[in-house]
Structure 1
Amino acid sequence: MQLFSALTLTVVTTLLASAHGTATIGGPCSGSSTYDCTDDFDAVAICNGARWVEAAQPAPSSDDLWIQAEQKLRHNSELDTLMTASIEILQSDYNLNFQPGDSSLHERLSDFLKTKANLVEERKWMIHLGTHTIIVRDQLTKVFQNILAVKDIVTTAANASLPASLACAGIMACFTTVIQAAEQHSHLLQGLESISELICRLHVMERLYLHSDTKQDTGLLDDLRKTMISFYSKILEFQARALCYLHRPRAYQFWRDVLNRDGWANLLQEFERYQIKLGRTTSVIADAGSMQRHEELQNKYQAILEALHNRDIWTATSDRDEKVKRFLNLLYTCPYKDRKDRNSKRVLGTCEWFIGHEKFHAWQGSSGNGLSSLLWVSADPGCGKSVLTRYLVDEVLVSNDKRTVCYFFFKDDFTDQKSATSALSVILRQLFIAQPHLLHDAILDKADTDSSKLTQSFSELWSILMSVSTDPKAEEIICLLDALDECHDEDRSRLINAVNDFYANTHKNSKLKFLITSRPYEHIRRGYSPLITESPTIHLSGDDGKEAEQITHEINLVIRKRVQDISKQRSLMKEECTMLIDRLTSVQNRTYLWVSLILDVLENTPEFSKGKVHRILSDLPTTVDSAYERILDRSPDMEKAKIVLHIITAAMRPLSLEELSLALALSAGYQAPTDIVDNMEPTHRFKKTLRDLCGLFVIILDDKVYLLHQTAKEFLVRNSNSILDKTLSQPTIGWKYSLHADESNQILAEICISCISLDPDDFPQECMLEYSSSYWDTHFRQACIPDEDPLIDRAKLLCEPWSDIFQTWSRIYAVKTDNIPDSTSSLVIASSMGLVGVVKSILPTGKANLNSKDSDYDQTPLSWAAERGHVAVVKLLLAAEEVDIDSRNSIGRSPLSLAAQNGHDEVVKLLIREDVDIDSKDVPGSTPLALAAENGHERIIRLLLATGKADIDSRDSSGNSPLSLAAQFGHEAVVKILLASGEVDVNNKDSRGKTPLSWAAREGYEAVVRCLLDTGKVEVDSKDSDNRTPLLLAAIQGCEGIVKQLLATAQVDVNIRDRRYGREPLSWAAGEGHEAVVKLLLSTREVDVDVRDPRYGRSPLSWAAGEGHEEVVEFLLATGKVDVESKSIRGRTPLSWAAWEGHDTVVKLLLATGEVDVNSRDSEGRTPLSWAAENGNEAVIKLLIGTGNADVSARDVNGRTPQDWAAEYDHQSVVKIFQMC
């Protein structure tokens, strides 16, 4: 049995890994991984040594059919060699080395199966081969389920059979090898599916017919035994062939002969023949014996098979788990752990003053209520806030069972690290991984409805965070946001406003706490006012003399530690070390960054004589800026260094050494491939060149090039929006503000276009092609390129959709960046990408059709430019007389609708001036105003309403008004604008009967609910098509704050029942475990505490008990108004439900009432003990038996006792409990 398991699982995992070439296996939690799994076997050792049966087992049992099957197979010399080779593969490639008498064999086999199971679970079921995708999940899921179904059997010493276990390992190993060609392997996969199921069936058949106490005809049983041995032998042969085939060496003729002689199809026919023969044999046994016994065996056979599959089925196959994986993958917007680890670790002894600070202790000990749960940490540049944050995450505020620490490090040099939505996405991801019970189906449903929209919507993501933080089951949630000042301006404002609202509206049950670090910029401080003045704040520069002394002391620790390190490297004398320490500690207002810069300079000084050190220290830069100047002034080639810094500062992501080396060669203007190659340096040499050019100004991590610090970019790059930039009309002297973003982007645009334009046959430009294809348009847009610049014509060539060069970059762009219109018009392409210079060069030719449309979305150049917010292009197109300003795309949306939907207010302004149709409706009936309302674009709402032409209360085909949509998606500001008009129907019902209040209550938007209630015009208890009111919807979702608001109106029916299930607010809240809502409803003293729903006949207590909500059960019992023996339609009591689900704490609570009947019977005659036994819930069984009243011999209507149920599902430990009674 174990040989089968090992071989089988090896085959299956090998199939999903790789045999030839590269396979990319996509997965939702881990993103995509690419494996270079070229089959590089030189040969497979053919060993004529000891047989498995002889070497691996000291004394094989003659009754073991698998061992006999292996012996039978080895009688054939060719198959003997094949079998030996397959075992060699398992031993050499999968580290399954078995030794005679090895007591750890079963444990190692179990670990192997578990490891391979996890590998498959991580890699998932999608394999990419070139441009083709093969989805193998459906076929291989059954294989995996079957293997897992017998996992316990094949890894239990009592059932040990080494040949069978290795067969199972074989399938799992080959499960991870890539499917080279689906056609070639269809029979192989079919065979894997077939035999993995056969192992279950044959094991049960052997157990029931050959190891039964029932007397049978000896001759018939011998026939059955021989047939099964032959069958097992064929299965072992199949696995051995599969394993050797998938690991075959390139130049070994033997394998080509052996493996191709008999095809997979022939072996499958053999399987069918043996199955038919087995069926006939068992039928003859039935004829010879008792038909009743045969039917009993067959029923037991099916029951055991079902039990095996149901017990250990792979959870990843459920639809919900697939949804969870997709959702977590969706939330992985950036490699947040790597970005955290990019920051240095603290020097031992530093950061101590912070974690000892009384304000930090107060924040740490606070609950998630009030301003005490927000800690604001401000620090000037270079004061070590990011090092501190990493220390807090890694060592101080470590996640545990009672606390989840989520973090995000904002960083200006990564696009995805400047986004608030990216921050919220990864915070939610960390939270749901740590506390998966908080990921409710309602959240997954939102993600399934519109996944891309969800991760781009700040309000949606924030709403999810707010809702889960108030979940009664939530543990403490700590959010650490580092360097908020490096967040994108608009995103930062949204985040600040959201945090303000969170603390302004007290969330008594929220478990959420924030620690935010930022530079003390005035505009950020203003945004957080009054939070900053009211909440605890720690300044890393120190608030008083004592704190300043502590910080200075810790900086001195860093100095001493670094000097000690330099001393060891450079063999300094004691007096030299003292001189360095004394000089560095004498500088006033020193920061961690300054210390790091100076010590890096010293550490990298080529000549380290005492005189040299004296000279450096005598002219020591006393500020970070002067240190930066000093570092760059040492460059041997300042012009080249400047080009490098232009590239690094403008790059959309950090470039690799290879990419930067090619970019530098391309920037020099080389066109011929040979010239480019000649001027590129190998990576190892270029690293040294880079260090010589820029010194310590740049750092290299994992072969990626970064600026030393955020302040380095601020030092170099002139801010085009600053007053300083407007006063600097002449070139600057020195390095400070020496780079202009326009110039940097033009340099990179030229590099990218040059890279794309290279002939791939002459030059392998792959190292820079991905970056160039993804970002050339961004750099082109951000550069101020004059009309006559040759770069415009080169960009124009890239936009010709019929050209080879277009095909080169567009495929990558479409995957990495955005959709590209499928069009034959260069104007459509250029307009969609916002390439002003290119559009300007195309329009005067008169050859372009201004209203041509792409074939996918049916959009004109104007529609594309409007949708993507390319203001300058929109201006150019509107200036052309022939342009259709109200053209419609495939779903009837006009340029105005597209701009309104995507929040491009400047484009909306331009279109309004052109007298476009303000109220144009698309196919679903949405107007521009409705689309803006749905997406929360407040400024656009105001622009459209100001025209006086927008229908503020329009309805789409689903009956949604702009107010309904704004309420549904939680856009409070938009709701306020619409309500302020006085022209909207606050009680408008959509096609499902839901009002704006219903939607806001259902989705948990407290602020929107408050706005609607404040009008005094809403129908508080309106019913939708399922008879659900806002109160009922809020109770289902557990929105405590909304339930409180609605109850306060005294206009709601607390006992309303929905139409589908007939359940009331209390029933839903109890069943979902919403403790706070249950409390609120009970506090009204108007709810029917013991109401039964008509569909299932279950009370709130029954629902809460069945779901294991202990606190809710306690609340309900405390009322004294519940019937603890209330029975459902099927006669089951709360105790019966709790016992079945294994909720021992709930069982204790119910038993403690002294009012439950432990032997109550349902319509099947089953007791709580019977249900607990079926599921193997030992703790519950002990509690019930411990009462002294449980009838352990009670039989149900089918005559089964609790012990029978436990035995049926193989709960041996439970059976023992009953046997002892």
Structure 2
Amino acid sequence: MQAGRLSAWALLHTSAAADLFSSLIDISLGPFNRDQVILAVSLVIISRGDSHFRHSKRQDKMAAEAIGIIAACGQFVEQSVKIIHFSKQIHDRFQDAPAEIDAWRQQIQALGKLVAAIEASPALQVEDLKPTVEQAKAVGDELLRIFETIDFGKDDGFGHKSWRVIGGFLKEDEIGDLFREVERLKSLLGDQIAVININQGHDKFARVESLIQGLSRSFRPGTDEDQCLQDLFITDPLSDRDGIITAKGRRTPGTCEWIPRTEEYQTWSTAQSGLLWISGPPGKGKTFISIFLTHLLQSSKPDSTVIWFFCDNKVASRNKAVNILRGLIIQLIFKHNQLTSRITPIWKIQGTNLFQENSFETLWRIFEDMLVALKDHQVCCVLDALDECDEPSLSSLLFKIQTLFEPSEKSAQVHNLKLIVTSREQPECLPFTLSRFPHITLGLLEHDIQLYISDQVSHLAKVKGIEGLPLCQYIEYAFRKRAGGTFLWVSFMAHDLERKTVGEIEHALTQLPNNLPEVYERILSKIHPESKTAVANMLTWLLFASRPLTVVELCDAVQIKPTLYLTKEQICLDYIQSCGHLLQVSTGRSPNGVDYRVNRLSPLIPVSTKMAELNSKESGASLYISFVHQSAKDFLRNHSSGLAAMNGPMDSKKTHADITSRLLSLLAMNRPFRPLFEAAKDLPLLPYAVFNWNYHMREMGVDFVSVLDEHKDFFRKSSEARDRWWAWYHFEYPGQDPPRDVPLLHMACITGLYHLLEYALLKRNTLLGLLRAREVNRVWGHDQETPLHLMVKQGQDKMVHLLLKYGADVSIKNIRGKTALDGAAFLGPHSVFLLLTSSRTSREIIEADAKSSTSHRRRGTLLHTAARGGHQDICRELVEKWHYDIETKDQDGFTPLLVAVRCQHLSLASFLVKQLGAKTTPRIKILESAFYLRERSRINEALESLSSNLDVDINAADEDGNTLFHRSYSPAFIMLEECIQVGLDFSKRNREGETVLHRNFWLSATHERLRLVLKESHLDINTRDNQGRTPLHSLVAIAAHPDQAPWSLDLSNLVVLLDFGANRCLADAQGRTPSELAAEYLRQGPDEIDMEEGIDASCEIDEMPCTMSMIIEILSRYATAPVDVWVADHSSEDMGNGDQPATT
């Protein structure tokens, strides 16, 4: 018992490991909380300890080994925390720290996670892993020994700390070797864990492997770019492709290979850009062709960027045009990291609104912008099953695709995109748009179908042991006779025969169905009569639901009751299995485990589930049910022998009404409020109701009134049920209590329910008309917004028009002082802005705003807002129709042109200049605006665009001749190397004859920067201005005014200048050396200096005398040998050899 308790004690007291690596515990051990996991493992160890003493010494030895490895793991976890701390200190404190420091820290974190997994899991606490953990511990000991010998407080005598000064560079090789050993141990330990899990029959191997693969992502710094990508992510196209292969099997060799031999494909392949359309009816293998083509392109075009997207109308993250764009954009960014600069500036302004359905136009502009940026690089794209995209958004996408490839369009000349689309020939918008492009039609596909049949029959013959027998030939003959060129039919029949005996196979071959609809009809006809009603209800829910439903959701939806010996989930699975080829069971879980939004589901991977495994709600919560193929949904919807044969004639609007009513009943249940994930334990369908009731109500169209009558409490003026719904809907914003008393009009706008909004606004009598006039302009929520504010955000012009029709006031401001007109100018689209400008109130606002733009009063206008949003059409209308002054300045002095450049809307900036007459002077302000967002990856393109379109180059100067690098500070400084690449001229002088060395002390703050300036400019370190002053004189002069001195100036600048040969004996035009100038300032004192140079004497400058004394001492006592800028770099500690004064 003692050994068992010791094991538990060892595990329970490794709190550092548990806290640091709790995410791994969650992934590896299922949906328990951390305390439960530790308690469960502890009890197992304790019970094992008891059995040790009762049974054998061998158990005692195993317990001792477990204790030993737990102890070693705990020690290494503590080591890793210390090593990570030291690594962070090095990174944060020293600019010259090794570039690999971040990678080193990630390696130790990765190894720490694996060790923590061993510590937390008894199954991994085996002797085989102990040597590796001990080696890790030994490496950790050695790393700590090195780090603890480094004096992090040491400086070079001037208060400057660097990696070189503390001696770290002397140990870099040794540290690097140790971290390489860490990387080796991490890989070794990962392999060992995988072997153990496989041998023990666990399924955690994939999770650990996934964790290893995800380490680099998990520990990336939380930059804007990373957060933007997280918001952009909607689905992983690579996982989607792999999931399809897992579900449907691999392609039969020889099939699909005729496609590249066609003239259409070859023409497409050799062109610089173009579109190829491949179409065919259901079951012809279009998706397999798409998979084949993605692999083919990756292999045959290794220098091209190959991207793809597999549409699926069963999954909301893959059936809308906006999501297609998000999937393509994120692939481009992953393969060309610099493209983050194309989306991050807009995301910084719009946030997650950028990725909503109403942002299609903005996302398309970003996608086009990325293609233009890659104009010298070929991009190949495959869009599969485009017919499964939501039809309204599909039409918009097809229009954009058409304009992208039309020969008359300019865009076709500036991108290098090669696109393949596979689809059916329905809906009609597909052939209407795509038939003008090269087209391959999938007919009988005789060659491919024969290969596929041979492959399937060969597999079946091996399984049944009938290879070479006449029965095998008969199977192949029967398949070829009945297949009709449909791969899906062959797949279904092969699967059915595999489950029959050899004797049954021969008879079954005489009864084969002739086509897919007949396959589905037979499935329904075989369902047991007692189950038909429940199965029909289940199929109805699956057919009309907005996303795949889980087993537990289906149980709740169909209201399945458990029996004496079967759970609801097991009964549901029986119904599902009775549907044969109609349905499939897939596994998947929301990324954070409690996010029930449909568009955030992880990829669904089909699995085979046994009824014995489905014995609880938890086991069914991650099993999703969906249709095997689109043809199954078509059959159930369109055939009289489908659901209609089981359940009577089907009215889709009535079905949506029934589902809406059921979901609203769940929302209206009078229960104490609990968080959604807790309430879902008792009501599994509740999360679906929260986020999808409005979808079903929207599908009802104008027939929604019956639902309103049935659920009056939910739709009355004030409703507790509606408040409860909003609290659940709003749950993803922690720390912010959702506002109560949700107005009906605001809810209609949030949910996009046009007919509900129209119904609520109808003036059925005079009194109600007056009340609704007040409600339509009611402000509500954290931002105190009207319904019009909300609809402008969503960009739905039809609902905006309705609100305006019933008296929505455009002039009402939200809590941030913004009107709906401001929102439309910023967010677009142009159609919504046009609608708002049609009202008299809007016209008055715009006229007053336009007038203020010409009054030379500095204030932000709608023109500035439209420029910030990047909307060319809106800017044109404001200038040409409403006569805005294109040179109007906001409160910060920025014109619309400067705002566009600051927000990286470079094409808009060019438009403002060339089409609307914006002035490009002063050029230096435009140049400085380009650096505002500090987008390093895009600055070269920005500078090129400014130079070619606006005649603004990197050496632009102000009226006094000062360039950006004459200033005390500019965002351009952090992109010094990029500026040099585009022609930065350090030798330019201002009207006072000063170079950048006289004015910019950031450049002389380090040896590396000054070396770079001197090498690039060929300037003499002792160059003089019009007053004969050298950079040393200028440094002394500016140091005499600490209140005006730039933040980058301290006494290290003086030392750096001296190290590079600054002559302290040269005199200026008044005969003063730098030392004499400092002494003169010291004698005068701050008040006299201020009066002499016209500075406000009320500013006390107490530190000036001390600074001047320090300068005099350094100039008189610091000895150094001048550095040759053309030789290898020297460390600062090698440069001075005389007495060095202490610094304060």
Counterpart residue number, 1:636: 528
Cα distance in 2, alignment partners of residues 401 and 1136 from structure 1: 45
In 1, Cα distance between equivalents of 2:654 and 2:753: 17
CA contact (8 A) 1:10 1:175 kept: no
- Of 384, 387, 403, the residue aligned with 1:485 is 387
Determine whether 1:322 maps to 2:249. no
Say if 2:648 is the partner of 1:648.
Answer: no
Q: Cα offset for 1:611?
A: 3.9
- Change beyond 3 A, Cα 1:753–1:916: closer
1:304 aligns with 2:166: yes
Aligned position for 1:590 = 485
Deviation at 1:518, TM superposition (A): 2.7
Matching residue of 1:885? 773
- Any idea what SS the aligned residue of 1:341 has? helix
Work out whether residues 858 and 889 of structure 1, in 8 Å CA contact, stay in contact via their aligned partners in 2. no
Aligned pair 1:1128/2:978, yes or no?
A: no
1:1078 aligns with 2:944: yes
Is the Cα–Cα contact under 8 Å of residues 14 and 176 in structure 1 kept in the other structure? no
Matches within 5 A, 1:731-770: 732=644, 740=652, 742-743=654-655, 746=658, 750=662, 753=665, 765=682, 768-770=685-687
* Residues 243-258 of structure 1 aligned to structure 2 (within 5 Å): none
Question: After the TM superposition, which residues 108-119 of structure 1 pair with which residues of structure 2 at under 5 Å, given as runs?
Answer: none
Q: Is the 8 A contact 2:663 2:686 kept in 1?
A: no
Gaps in structure 1 of 5+ consecutive residues:
1-6, 48-81, 97-108, 118-140, 156-164, 179-196, 210-278, 280-291, 543-547, 668-674, 719-723, 823-855, 962-983, 1172-1192, 1209-1221
* Matched residue SS, 2:840: coil
Distance 2:823 2:970 in 1: 44
Match of 1:576 among 467, 471, 484: 471
Q: In structure 2, the residue corresponding to 1:349 is in which secondary structure?
A: coil
Distance across 1 between alignment mates of 2:291 and 2:725: 39
Deviations 1:566-621 (CA, angstroms, capped at 9, x unpaired)? 2222233532222232333345852323333343444445675464144124xx41
Shift in alpha-carbon separation, 1:147–1:1154, aligned structure 2, 3 A: closer
Q: Tell me by how many angstroms 1:1023 deviates.
A: 6.1
Q: Which moved more, 1:561-570 or 1:623-632?
A: 623-632
| 1:499 partner letter | I
Q: How big is the shift at 1:709? A: 0.7
One of 389, 398, 421 as aligned partner of 2:322? 421
- Provide Cα deviations, 1:816-872, integer angstroms capped at 9, x if missing partner: 7999996xxxxxxxxxxxxxxxxxxxxxxxxxxxxxxxxx27653344335544345
| Match of residue 610 from structure 2 | none
Q: Match of 1:89?
A: 70
Distance 1:347 1:1030, change over 3 A: farther
Aligned twin of 2:731: 815
Q: Distance in 2 between matches of 1:1086 and 1:801?
A: 59
In 2, distance between residues paired with 1:801 and 1:1056? Answer: 57
Q: Secondary structure at the match of 2:258?
A: helix
Question: Are 2:347 and 1:447 equivalent residues in the alignment?
Answer: yes
Query: Where do 1:952-963 residues align within 5 Å?
Result: 952=843, 954-955=845-846
Distance in 1, matches of 2:572 and 2:1019, equals 79
Is the partner of 1:815 in helix, strand or coil? coil
Summarize deviations over 1:514-551 as a string: whole Å, max 9, x none: 4333322363246636xx52x4x332416xxxxx7xx3
State the secondary structure of the residue aligned to 1:470.
helix
Distance 2:163 2:87 in 1: 21
Distance 1:990 1:200, change over 3 A: farther
Tell me how far 1:459 sits from its aligned partner: 2.5
Distance 1:171 1:695 in 2: 42
Q: Offset of 1:707 from its aligned partner?
A: 0.7
Question: Which of 258, 275, 279 matches 1:353?
Answer: 258
Q: Does the residue aligned with 2:369 lie in a helix, a strand or coil?
A: helix
Q: Distance in 2 between matches of 1:293 and 1:789?
A: 79
Distance 1:428 1:960, change over 3 A: farther
Aligned residue number for residue 145 of structure 1:
88
1:835-874 correspondence to structure 2 within 5 Å: 856=739, 860-874=743-757
1:995-1014 matches, cutoff 5 A: 996=863
In the alignment, structure 1 residue 384 sits paired with structure 2 residue 285: yes
Say which SS state the counterpart of residue 704 (structure 1) adopts. strand
Matches within 5 A, 1:906-985: 914=806, 917=809, 922=814, 931-932=823-824, 934-936=826-828, 949-952=840-843, 954-955=845-846
Aligned to 1:498: 400
The answer (yes or no) to whether the contact 1:859–1:889 under 8 Å persists in 2 is no
Residues 753 and 795, structure 1, Cα contact 8 Å, conserved in 2 = no
1:905 & 1:1012 partners in 2: Cα distance?
19
CA drift of 1:354 comes to 2.3
Secondary structure, counterpart of 2:461 in structure 1: helix
The answer as to whether partners of 1:662 and 1:768 remain within 8 angstroms in 2 is: yes
- Classify 1:1067/1:735 alpha carbon distance in 2 versus 1 (closer, same or farther; 3 Å): closer
Distance 1:581 1:788, change over 3 A: same
Instruction: Give the Cα separation in 2 of the matches to 1:865 and 1:491.
Output: 21
Alpha-carbon offset, residue 1036 of structure 1: 6.3
In the alignment, the residues of structure 1 paired with residue 857 and residue 397 of structure 2 have an alpha-carbon distance, to the nearest angstrom, of: 32
Are 2:527 and 2:579, in contact at CA under 8 Å, matched by a contact in 1?
A: yes
Asked if 2 retains the 8 angstrom alpha-carbon contact of 1:376 and 1:538, the reply is yes
Given that 1:659 and 1:767 are in contact with CA atoms closer than 8 Å, whether structure 2 keeps it comes out as yes
Instruction: Report the AA paired with residue 494 of structure 1.
Output: S
Shift of 1:716: 0.9
Secondary structure (helix, strand or coil) at the match of 2:842 reads coil
Partner of 2:7: none
Who is 2:632 aligned against?
A: 712
Q: Distance in 2 between matches of 1:379 and 1:782?
A: 29
Shift in Å, 1:307: 8.7
CA distance in 2 between partners of 1:466 and 1:84 (Å): 61
Q: Distance in 2 between matches of 1:1001 and 1:737?
A: 55
Q: 1:300 to 1:1100 in 2, by over 3 A?
A: closer
Match of 2:365 in 1: 463
Output aligned runs, 1:515-526, within 5 Å. 515-521=420-426, 523-525=428-430
CA deviation after TM superposition for structure 1 residue 1076, in Å = 8.2
Instruction: Note if contact 1:1101-1:1122 (Cα within 8 Å) is conserved in structure 2.
Output: no
CA distance in 1 between counterparts of 2:1001 and 2:737 reads: 61
> Shift of the alpha carbon at 1:690?
2.3
The structure-2 alpha-carbon separation of the partners of 1:772 and 1:305, relative to structure 1 and needing over 3 Å to count, comes to: farther
Contact 2:1003 2:1009 in 1 (8 A): no
SS at 2:626 equivalent = strand
* 1:565 correspondence with 2:481: no
Structure 2 match to 1:17:
21
Matched, 1:37 2:41: no
Amino acid at match of 2:779: N
Structure 2: gaps of 5 or more residues: 1-10, 50-62, 99-107, 122-139, 180-214, 587-605, 608-622, 673-677, 1024-1029, 1033-1052, 1061-1119, 1136-1144
**Does the CA-based 8 Å contact 2:876-2:916 persist in structure 1?**
no
